[in-house]
Amino acid sequence: MLLSLSIKNYALIESLETDFSNQFSVITGETGAGKSILLGALGLVLGKRADLSSLKNKEQKCIIEAQFAISNYKLQAFFNENDMDYEDNTIIRREILPSGKSRAFVNDSPVNLQELQELGELLIDIHSQHQTRELTEENYQIDILDAVANNTDLVVSYKNSLAEFKSAKKELKLLFSEKETLVKEYEYNSFLLNELLAANLTDGEQEALEQELEQLSNVEFIKENFERILAIANEEQVGALVNLKEIKIALQRLAGFSKHNEMLLERLTSSLLEIEDIISECEQNNDKIVANPERLDLVNNKLQTIYSLQKKHQVLTISELLAIQNELETKVIRVDDLDGTISKLQLEVDSKQAKVDEIAQLISDNRKKAVPILIDKIKVILAQLGMIEADFQIEINHTDSYSPKGKDEVVLLFSANKGTSFGLLKKVASGGEMSRIMLAIKAILANYSKLPTIIFDEIDTGVSGEIAIKMGEIMKEMSKTMQVFAITHLPQIAAKGNMHYKVSKSSFGDTTISELTLLTSEERVIQIAEMLSGKAISDSAIQHAKALLN
């Protein structure tokens, strides 16, 4: 419930601070006194967009602060989900700076407008003539039925199941799309894969083959040079090895004469061993080198295959070709694997759809059971409001489409008088009838769901006299289970309030201000008498006002 409201520097209000009770409160005042300003300020607290023109003093910031008792609303989960600090007595503050910037706070923590709007919808229902038109909308009619049918938990379960079903269905659709794409590419991918597999590639193979090709292509040149090396090394008279061995013999003779000569001998001996080993390997390599035209063709062809594949796939190495080969294998195998995955997911989608359909059917059955109950309750209240012959028909048609609230289409038909045909509510009901029907709906919903604070903004449009008295009594009855405000021009409704606030407008020099005042018992008599007879209050108006209050 709304505990208090503080407004500073907003429109015609310089400063206003008011506390409210949990009972039925009425707000009255002359047209233009500032009742709409109060609603505008409250709207800002509930997340409506700010307008710099709403500042009374353009050089100072506007501050609107409202305190709510929310312990009975079970909003802890909402606060946790939106990372807000929860307090049983929650304070919402909205600031509009002279620069035009706007800020919002919940329990001193900054919040964005979207979060504030969502919270506001859970705290206050401001019912204006514009909102009366909601009654003609199918979604609102479904909400009414669900409240009477006690479908709240089922609708939440349905929404969760529907989200799971749609998610699985979307995933299945993506798999079908993927399969369609892969099937189209299957033959081409298979051809490319087989071409790579036929090449029988191994990582590092290209470098080895290029080296072998170089050797096979230059056999004569290589052999000629190896033989020259061997000839120089092994010539009987002047060969390099023969001469080195002669030097070694000479150093052996000199080694005993000095340590230095001994070291020279050791070094030569070591070098000679290394040279002999090199010559030996040259002999082995020379023996291995033979002309092999067939092997040359084979190596050349394999390299040409590699080069061709690299050009086709626009890569430079065999390792990149092997990566492409693995990717192609995955795509080709994926087509076969997808069939199994799709079959498994299809079963899951069918199961989730069956669950959604089952919950939707339960919701629909409950709605059909609630229809006669709702109609009877509306007719009882409307009879009190002078619409004795009013009647309703509610058609519920089960469909194959999935809406956020089930699979039903709801049509609300209305007849104001006996013998007249039923027609769509928005086409056959007058403004006054719509106001009374909406009040009846709100009164019924107050018994079925924990409605937030409700503010009726001139719901009495088009009614007067005894009907207005009945409307006031209904609103007062609603206030037994919730906080109710009524902004009204009718004395019959104003007299039913437990608390009576008056909005007044005064001029001081070049400025005009609006004020909200809680009236005393005596002041209420005067205010209601004025509403009855105008500024010139007669004795009979005073007596009539007292009678209404009593």
Q: Work out the pLDDT band at 130, boundaries 50, 70, 90.
A: low
pLDDT, residue 366, reads: 96
Q: Are residues 299 and 195 in the same domain?
A: yes
pLDDT, residue 448, reads: 82
- Residue 104 DSSP SS3: strand
90, 106 Cβ separation under 8 angstroms: yes
Q: What is the DSSP letter of 50?
A: P
Count CB-CB contacts under 10 A for residue 271: 12
Q: Are residues 93 and 202 in the same domain?
A: no
Domain end residue (candidates: 296, 315, 337):
337
pTM of the predicted model as reported, rounded to 2 decimal places: 0.67
310, 324 Cβ separation under 8 angstroms: no
Higher pLDDT, 85 or 178: 85
Helices and strands (H, E) in the chain, number of each type:
18, 15
pLDDT, residue 230, reads: 81
Q: Are residues 186 and 255 in the same domain?
A: yes
pLDDT (mean) for 349-371: 95
What CA–CA distance (Å, rounded) separates 52 from 96? 7
What residues pair up with 176 in beta bridges, in sequence order?
none
**Angle separating helix axes 465-478 and 318-384, nearest 10 degrees:** 130
Q: Is residue 278 in some structural domain?
A: yes
* Residues written for the chain: 550
Answer yes or no: is pLDDT of 460 > 80. no
Output the CA–CA distances (angstroms, integers) from residue 362 to 61, 150, 366, in the order listed: 53, 11, 6
pLDDT, residue 494, reads: 93
Answer yes or no: is pLDDT of 244 > 80. yes
Side chain identity, residue 483: Q
Q: List CB contacts of 352: < 8 A, sequence separation 6 or more.
A: 161, 164, 165, 168
- Residue 91 DSSP SS3: strand
Side chain identity, residue 228: R
Backbone phi, psi, residue 133, to 5°: -65, -20
Structure tokens at 296: 């040359």
Answer yes or no: is pLDDT of 219 > 80. no
**Angle separating helix axes 138-149 and 152-199, nearest 10 degrees:** 110
pLDDT, residue 446, reads: 84
Domain end residue (candidates: 304, 337, 370):
337
What CA–CA distance (Å, rounded) separates 263 from 254? 11
**Of 108-117, 459-468, 471-480, where does mean pLDDT reach its minimum?**
459-468
- Chain centroid to Cα 30, Å, comes to 45
Residue 186: exposed, middle, or buried by beta-carbon count in 10 A (0-12, 13-18, 19+)?
Answer: middle
Domain of residue 121, CATH code = 3.40.50.300
Helices (H), 385-520: 425-428, 431-448, 465-478, 491-494
Q: Is residue 74 in some structural domain?
A: yes
Answer yes or no: is pLDDT of 131 > 70. no
Q: Work out the pLDDT band at 33, boundaries 50, 70, 90.
A: low
Domain end residue (candidates: 280, 302, 337):
337
Answer yes or no: is pLDDT of 454 > 80. yes
- Residue 276 DSSP SS3: helix
Q: Work out the pLDDT band at 373, boundaries 50, 70, 90.
A: very high
Residue 354: which region, alpha, beta or left (left: phi > 0; alpha: psi -120 to 50)?
alpha
Q: What is the DSSP letter of 417?
A: S
Q: Is residue 142 in some structural domain?
A: no
pLDDT, residue 94, reads: 93
Q: Is residue 219 in some structural domain?
A: yes
pLDDT, residue 55, reads: 80
- Of the candidates 144, 151, 152, 149, the residue with the CA atom closest to the CA atom of residue 440: 144
Q: Is residue 459 in some structural domain?
A: yes
| Range with top average pLDDT, 29-43, 68-82, 217-231, 497-511 | 68-82
Answer yes or no: is pLDDT of 331 > 80. no
pLDDT, residue 234, reads: 78
Answer yes or no: is pLDDT of 498 > 90. yes
Q: Is residue 137 in some structural domain?
A: no
- Domain range enclosing 284: 177-337
pLDDT, residue 182, reads: 74
Q: Are residues 98 and 193 in the same domain?
A: no
Answer yes or no: is pLDDT of 381 > 80. yes
Output the CA–CA distances (angstroms, integers) from residue 345 to 35, 62, 268, 307, in the order listed: 59, 57, 81, 44
Q: Are residues 207 and 332 in the same domain?
A: yes
pLDDT, residue 242, reads: 78
Q: Is residue 377 in some structural domain?
A: no
Q: List CB contacts of 340: < 8 A, sequence separation 6 or more.
A: none
Q: Are residues 181 and 326 in the same domain?
A: yes
Structure tokens at 113: 């407008």
Q: Are residues 104 and 17 in the same domain?
A: yes
55-92 pLDDT, tens digit each: 877 888 899 999 999 988 888 989 998 889 999 999 99
What residues pair up with 508 in beta bridges, in sequence order?
511
Q: Are residues 201 and 63 in the same domain?
A: no
User: Given strand 24-28, what is the order of strands in its sheet?
Assistant: 124-127, 453-457, 484-487, 24-28, 499-508, 511-518
pLDDT (mean) for 26-40: 82
pLDDT (mean) for 487-509: 89
Q: Are residues 194 and 90 in the same domain?
A: no
Q: Are residues 115 and 187 in the same domain?
A: no
Q: Is residue 257 in some structural domain?
A: yes
Q: List CB contacts of 337: < 8 A, sequence separation 6 or more.
A: none
- Of the candidates 527, 461, 540, the residue with the CA atom closest to the CA atom of residue 499: 527
pLDDT, residue 136, reads: 83
Q: What is the DSSP letter of 49?
A: P
Residue 310: exposed, middle, or buried by beta-carbon count in 10 A (0-12, 13-18, 19+)?
Answer: middle
Q: Are residues 194 and 61 in the same domain?
A: no
Residue recorded with tokens 């005894």:
466
* Average predicted confidence (pLDDT) for the chain: 87
Q: Are residues 318 and 466 in the same domain?
A: no
Number of domains comprising the chain = 2
